[in-house]
Amino acid sequence: MVGFSFGAPGCPKQTIRSRYEQNQCNHLSLEPLRRLLSPHVAEECLIPVLTYIPFLLASYGASTLVLTKLAGWKGLKLQKLAGSLSMYPASLVMIYYSHATVLDHNFWSADHHRRFLESAREVNVFANFYIATNIVQAISQLQTKKPPLLYQLMGHQVLSIFCHVAGFYFNRFRCWTSFVCCCEITNLFLVPVFACKVYFPEWKAKTWYLWNTRLLWITFVTHRLVLFPCWLALWAWDRRRAAGMDEPVEIHWIEGVLYPATIVGLFVLSFIWFLTIDRGLRKQKKVWLQAREAIKKAQ
């Protein structure tokens, strides 16, 4: 596994800026357009994101071609399943790099100041890939989803993209995005659920699908309902320790308010979605048991 290291020898990391530069940054107005197009943001964020998007679109095109040739599907049905299927490679990349942060003991042993300012190549790769993936997903969802789910998904995408870009914009708190986005692992099990609901209802009688639904239930608990409160707890701990420093560094209100508010919003949405998943798992168990009984009677 590619380790995420804070200050370890040989590990690429962001250069810590001087105290003067930090304070200047914190007290400046946003000056959004000028800073967003600065060489720093362009090199570390905008260019990589624009580089990843064509690969994601190519994955969508390949998925569309395969489904068209094999199943002969067209229209909205094809768009929905191709959009979900094409995100699997991206999900695997994001899962790998996000967990590289959390599974490295240096993330937990580092002090709050290092989690505040330092980053690593793995974190940057994850953040840029995440931004590119969410842009492509948002475009697809605008064409295939309907309210109220569409509104929930768009709120999720917009806030997530904004917070990830802000990590490059302010040049800090980047490791926190990798931490929270370990939740992306739930997408691996969510896609088959959507596919079964819309296209393959016969899957409900399959044992593998029952286990897929169970794993979705489990990961929603561990990687969302537990993960998000842990993120908020560590964030509050770090902010409290930062406030107690002899020369505390102020942060922008976007960082101090919007970041944790986004996590709270994701937790609420995840809880709402979990209730649906829980009901679905209960129904799935009944369907599976009925299928087993039918097989026994037939024998």
For residue 52, give Cα distances in angstroms to 49, 90, 94, 133. Answer: 5, 10, 13, 8
Give the per-residue pLDDT at 14.
39
- The answer to the question of residue 24 being in a domain is no
- The answer to the question of residue 109 being in a domain is yes
User: What pLDDT, in 10s, does the model give residues 205-246?
Assistant: 999 999 999 999 999 999 999 999 999 999 999 999 888 877
Structural contact between residues 98 and 179, judged by C-beta atoms closer than 8 angstroms: yes
- The answer to the question of residue 68 being in a domain is yes
First-to-last alpha carbon distance for the chain, in angstroms, is 48
In this prediction, residue 264 has a pLDDT band, given cuts at 50, 70 and 90, of very high
Reported pTM: 0.79
Segment of 5-9, 60-64, 242-246 carrying the highest mean pLDDT:
60-64
Give the per-residue pLDDT at 41.
83
Structural domain including 183 reads: 32-298
- The answer to the question of residue 22 being in a domain is no
- The answer to the question of residue 111 being in a domain is yes
Give the per-residue pLDDT at 279.
95
- The answer to the question of residue 119 being in a domain is yes
Report the mean per-residue pLDDT for the chain: 83
Give the per-residue pLDDT at 12.
39
When divided into structural domains, the chain yields a total of 1
List, as own/partner pairs, every contact residues 139-148 make where C-beta atoms lie below 8 angstroms and the sequence separation is at least 24, other chains included.
140/60, 140/79, 140/83, 141/83, 143/79, 144/76, 144/79, 144/80, 144/83
Give the per-residue pLDDT at 76.
79
